[in-house]
Amino acid sequence: RENNDLNITNTVNTLESRLTQMESILVASQNSASADHSVGSELSPASSCLHIKQTSPSSQDGAYFLIGKDGTIYQTYCDMTTAGGGWTLVSSVHEDDMYGKCTAGDRWSSTRGNNINYPGGDGNWANVHTFGSMGSATTDDYKNPGYFSIDATNVMLWHVPNNVPAEGYKTAAYLRYRTSNGFLEQYGGNLYSLFKDHFPIGYNLGTYTHDNGPAIPIVYEQGSDHLVQSLLPPNIVSRNEAIPGFVQFRVFNYENSCTAVCPGVNFVGRNAEQVCIGGGGYWAEHPRQCGDYLGKDWDGYGTGVGWSSNQLVTESVVMFFYR
């Protein structure tokens, strides 16, 4: 009888164990079924925000998961409403310390000082390094795999004050503008290819009179030529060195030092370091021009007098989107 009782107990225990296993399997199956498998979710990352918009036209602005050509999954911001939507945030340029010239935070120029031995600086405009995160794009430099892996036709730029959280990027932007002529198709489909294969960045690679890169007309979603001009240093305006209504790539100054992007303008003068952002690692005139925001503080930090930008410009990021 004792053996029978023991056998019954073992059988009950075995049945209870199997029942627990079946319950676990059922719960896991239910969780899997309820998980988000929509395109742009962590379980189903998309190649770009445009892919998400085309697959799900009702998609709204916000954070989505994408996957690079190398299989890297990353989260970034998608603008799903401007001009039909499908815009992918791929990078932001942020000046963390105007007084620290070409120091640790200057990833879009040089983190190794003003050094003629590094004429191209850190080279991040034309390499596959990544840094920062979508959520900190207004507090630090940002570059995700989409910068070099998405095939795009146009760019969009936002000027957003520092320290704005991701959900406020769009409403806080005082300038939002885009290209519309498909210019990236001529240059490999993204800025990585544009700089790597067509307009390399570095000291003494050209002159401001003959070798500046393309100036592409822009369409404003927020702002105007008048606002862009009002944000330029007064000396730039009085000398007619910048024409609002464009975004320009690879622009040299008088000393043949090289900037990467002139946001909002076609730069036609010799003092590009006062307006443009990013670039190479050597500034022949003065080390004070070295850094992501270059010489925007030439006549004082945020003063908006002489050659200096005002405080709003100095304490804002420039975001880059692809579509």
Q: Which tens digit of pLDDT belongs to each residue from 245-282?
A: 999 999 999 999 999 999 999 999 999 999 999 999 99
Are 97 and 288 in contact by the 8 Å Cβ rule? The answer is no
Kindly state the tokens that stand for 97. Answer: 């310390």
Look-up of token digits 């021009």: 289
Give the confidence band of 181 by pLDDT, cuts at 50, 70, 90: very high
Q: Which amino acid is at 255?
A: E
* Dihedral Cα 105, 106, 107, 113, nearest 10 deg: -110
Asked whether residue 3 carries a pLDDT value surpassing 80, the answer given is: no
Q: Each residue of 118-154: pLDDT tens digit?
A: 999 999 999 999 999 999 999 999 999 999 999 999 9
Alpha carbons 130 and 133: distance in angstroms, whole number: 9
Q: Are strands 277-279 and 258-262 parallel, antiparallel or unpaired?
A: antiparallel
Residues 6+ apart with CB under 8 A from 306: 233, 234, 235, 298, 299, 300
Write out the two tokens for 131: 């840094």
Would you say residue 1 has pLDDT above 80?
Answer: no
Structure tokens given for 259: 């900037």
CA 298 from centre of chain: 26
What is the spatial order of strands in the sheet that 246-252 belongs to?
Answer: 215-217, 246-252, 258-262, 277-279
Report residue 214's pLDDT band, with 50, 70 and 90 as the boundaries. very high
Q: What span, in angstroms and rounded, lies between the C-alpha atoms of 172 and 252?
A: 31
Q: How confident is the model over 66-119, as pLDDT tens digits?
A: 999 999 999 999 999 999 999 999 999 999 899 999 999 999 999 999 999 999
> φ, ψ for residue 14 (rounded to 5)?
-65, -45
* Secondary structure element (H or E) that encloses residue 169, with its range: helix 169-172
Render pLDDT for 26-67 as a digit per residue (tens, 0 to 9): 544 454 444 567 999 999 999 999 999 999 999 999 999 999
How far apart (Å, rounded) are the C-alpha atoms in residues 252 and 267? 9
- On whether the CB atoms of residues 180 and 154 are closer than 8 A, the answer is yes
Say how many C-beta atoms besides its own lie within 10 A of residue 294's C-beta: 30
CA distances from 121 to 139, 197, 259, 289 (A): 22, 17, 11, 13
How many angstroms separate the CA atoms of 161 and 157, rounded? Answer: 13
CB-based contacts of 118: which residues, under 8 Å, 6+ apart?
Answer: 110, 112, 281, 282
Cα–Cα–Cα angle for 303, 305, 307, rounded to 5 degrees: 105
Is pLDDT above 80 for 212?
A: yes
Count Cβ neighbours within 10 Å for each residue of 107-135 and write b for 16 or more, e otherwise.
Answer: bbbbbbebeeebbbbbbbbbeeebebebe
- The percent helix, strand, coil of the chain (3-state, each to 5) is 30, 25, 50
**Mean predicted confidence (pLDDT) in 1-9:** 59
Query: What phi, psi does 23 have (nearest 5°)?
Result: -65, -40
The pTM of this model reads 0.89
Model pLDDT, residue 239: 98
